[in-house]
Amino acid sequence: MTKLLFDGEKAFKYIEKLAVDIGTRPSGSEAEKKAADWIASEFKALGLKTSIEEFEVTTGRVVSQKLEVLEPKMGEIPCEVMPLFGSTGPEGVTGDLVYLETYDEEYLTPDIEGKIIMTSGRPKDRKKSYRLLSKFKPLAMIFIESSPRVLAKNLWGSHLVKEKYGELPALRIAFMDGRKLVQSGASRVHVVAETESKTVNSQNVIAEIEGYERPEEIIVVGGHYDTVLEVSGAGDNAGGTAITMELARVFKEKGTKRTMKFAAWGCEEVGLLGSRDYATKLRKASEEAKKENEDEDQTELDRTVLCVNLDVHGGFLGTNSSRTLGPPELKASIMLLSKETGTVFTVNEGVYSSDGTSLSAVGIPSVSFSRGTPSNTFMHSIEDDISWLNPRALHNQGRFIEEYLTRYVAEAAAFPFEKEIPDKQKKEIEDYFKRSLRGMP
Ligand SMILES: [Zn+2]
């Protein structure tokens, strides 16, 4: 029987600090920086070798936004502008409204020029669609969201769309409003999407415990600490950050045969930027080293054998799930521990849209643990506050993950998984990053 030290009460205090005292921590914001400094100071207080690693992020801000239906006269419709897509300026634009089921190339013809497009679908090939949109220059885009009434606040859109295809002012409306507009044959609208963007620094916080027996083997355990705008992100992901921090305390106390790196990732919510930066640096450093010495097979990338990603945790109402990218044994090991400990976990293989996938993109197997509801009830909404979390839920999740790490990482005589990602999953990872416009890390 493994002796377990993870303390849910301690982890809950970390969540209070992040989600209540600091509060919302949008990607690239001052509050995100404040959270990073605090996490770093906690890691240092544990006696861990700690560093803050910076990277750039383009952030956006909405100055003013409005959607008004002029024909028939329906007044204003609630909307959220995507600030990185472009700006209409304060005066906005007025134009005929065209509803397209999707913005696939079949629908993007010269007669969309000078119009405002509304769409509920997603195209098969976004790059092709953006190319055509930049050619035919509609005045603005209105995306109908799948959520019936609540609009997520975080969706800045990628600045790469503007960089590569030019300005395309865009806003989002809730599904019920989209339905209303289509049903009533709305044909003319006024759109204000006034925005600003700037490039700032964000940061990952990395703390290390050196392995006492096999320090050359590295396991990365982490979760993102940023949030979407205006949301305290208690479950997503003060929860995962808190578990990461408490695990750092636990393994500092217990010791570990292998080196463990604890990561608090920045800017996950705007495209996994923190973990992507980490993975890209590992890959580039490794390529450089191999250019100098062909036989080099001990770069940090070579030595990093697993990433454990924690995203969405702490809810007392919810279910446990995990997603693996790696050999079949990785999935099997979680199922095995789930049965042994009587902790129900749904385990699937495949891409989870979170930081573990960045590391898997450069060949590091990953497992993401999370605890949410099947339809992500509170995801990216202001309801994701501390009232739906409790120390008991954290305790159970934390101990399961501690036990997992203890057996397979900290105490295992030989590392139990091959460092390999099956071709089918590699393809899935490539497709995932292709959709993001930014390409692979
Ligand atoms: Zn998250």
pLDDT, tens digit, 9 for 90 and up, residues 82-97: 988 999 999 999 999 9
Q: Are residues 353 and 290 in the same domain?
A: yes
pLDDT tier, 153 (very low <50, low <70, confident <90, very high otherwise): low
Alpha helices in 64-207 (DSSP H): 126-136, 159-165, 175-183
Question: What DSSP letter does each residue of 156-175 carry, written as one string?
Answer: ---HHHHHHH----EEEE-H
- In CATH, what number is assigned to the domain containing residue 213? 3.40.630.10
| Structural domains in the chain (count) | 2
Q: How far is the CA of 309 from the centre of ligand 1 (A)?
A: 10
- In the chain, the amino acid numbered 58 is T
Distance separating alpha carbons of residues 99 and 117, to the nearest angstrom:
6
As a residue count, the chain comes to 441
What's the pLDDT at 398? 97
| Domain-located, residue 2 | no
pLDDT tens digits for range 11-57: 999 999 999 999 999 999 999 999 999 999 999 999 999 999 999 99
User: At which of 172, 196, 220 does a domain end?
Assistant: 196
Q: How far is the CA of 272 from the centre of ligand 1 (A)?
A: 9
Q: Are residues 393 and 249 in the same domain?
A: yes
What's the pLDDT at 168? 93
What's the pLDDT at 154? 59
Q: How far is the CA of 99 from the centre of ligand 1 (A)?
A: 32
| Domain-located, residue 206 | yes
For a pLDDT cut of 90, what percent of the chain falls above it? 83
| Domain-located, residue 222 | yes
Measured CA angle at 373 (ends 364, 350), to 5 deg: 25
Q: How far is the CA of 190 from the centre of ligand 1 (A)?
A: 34
Q: How far is the CA of 227 from the centre of ligand 1 (A)?
A: 7
User: At which of 196, 231, 255 does a domain end?
Assistant: 196
Residue 436: pLDDT over 80: no
Residue-averaged pLDDT of the chain:
94
| Domain-located, residue 312 | yes
pLDDT tens digits for range 257-278: 999 999 999 999 989 999 999 9
Helix axes 391-405, 240-254, angle to 10 degrees: 50
**pTM for the whole structure:** 0.87
Question: How many other CB atoms are there within 10 angstroms of residue 412's CB atom?
Answer: 16
Q: Are residues 104 and 50 in the same domain?
A: no
Please compute the mean of the pLDDT values over residues 280-288 and round it to a whole number.
Answer: 97
Q: How far is the CA of 381 from the centre of ligand 1 (A)?
A: 12
Q: How far is the CA of 269 from the centre of ligand 1 (A)?
A: 7
| Domain-located, residue 440 | no
Q: Are residues 156 and 259 in the same domain?
A: no
pLDDT tens digits for range 185-203: 999 999 999 999 889 999 9
Q: Are residues 327 and 264 in the same domain?
A: yes
| Domain-located, residue 3 | no
Q: Are residues 280 and 407 in the same domain?
A: yes
- Of 354, 299, 364, whose CA–CA distance to 321 is shortest? 354
What's the pLDDT at 407? 95
Rounded alpha-carbon distances, angstroms, from residue 323 to 117, 341, 365: 37, 19, 11
- For 38, residues 6+ apart whose C-beta sits below 8 A from its C-beta are 17, 18, 22
What residues flank ion ligand 1 with Cβ within 5 A? 236-237, 311
Do 374 and 319 form a contact (C-beta atoms < 8 A)? yes
Q: How far is the CA of 29 from the centre of ligand 1 (A)?
A: 17
Q: Are residues 281 and 341 in the same domain?
A: yes
- Reply yes or no: is the peptide bond before residue 365 cis, omega within 30 of 0: no
Q: Are residues 44 and 143 in the same domain?
A: no
pLDDT tens digits for range 217-238: 999 999 999 998 889 999 999 9
Q: Are residues 185 and 73 in the same domain?
A: yes
Q: How far is the CA of 225 from the centre of ligand 1 (A)?
A: 8
Do 305 and 191 form a contact (C-beta atoms < 8 A)? no
What's the pLDDT at 381? 81
Do 345 and 322 form a contact (C-beta atoms < 8 A)? yes
- In the chain, the amino acid numbered 361 is A
Question: What DSSP letter does each residue of 258-287 carry, written as one string?
Answer: EEEEEEEES-GGGTSHHHHHHHHHHHHHHH
Lowest mean pLDDT among 16-30, 147-161, 401-415: 147-161
User: At which of 138, 164, 196 does a domain end?
Assistant: 196
Q: Are residues 250 and 383 in the same domain?
A: yes
Please compute the mean of the pLDDT values over residues 418-426 and round it to a whole number.
Answer: 97
Classify 92 as helix, strand or coil.
Answer: coil
Q: Are residues 15 and 86 in the same domain?
A: no
| Domain-located, residue 441 | no
| Domain-located, residue 235 | yes
What's the pLDDT at 87? 95
Return the higher-pLDDT residue of 402 and 317.
Answer: 402
Classify 366 as helix, strand or coil.
Answer: strand
Domain assignment of residue 166, given as a range: 60-196
Distance separating alpha carbons of residues 231 and 238, to the nearest angstrom:
11
Strand partners, 58: 199
Q: How far is the CA of 287 from the centre of ligand 1 (A)?
A: 30
- In CATH, what number is assigned to the domain containing residue 167? 3.50.30.30
pLDDT tier, 1 (very low <50, low <70, confident <90, very high otherwise): low
Classify 144 as helix, strand or coil.
Answer: strand
HSE, side-chain direction, 13 A CA sphere, residue 241:
33
Q: Are residues 243 and 192 in the same domain?
A: no
Evaluated on CA atoms 68, 69, 70, 75, the torsion sign reads: negative
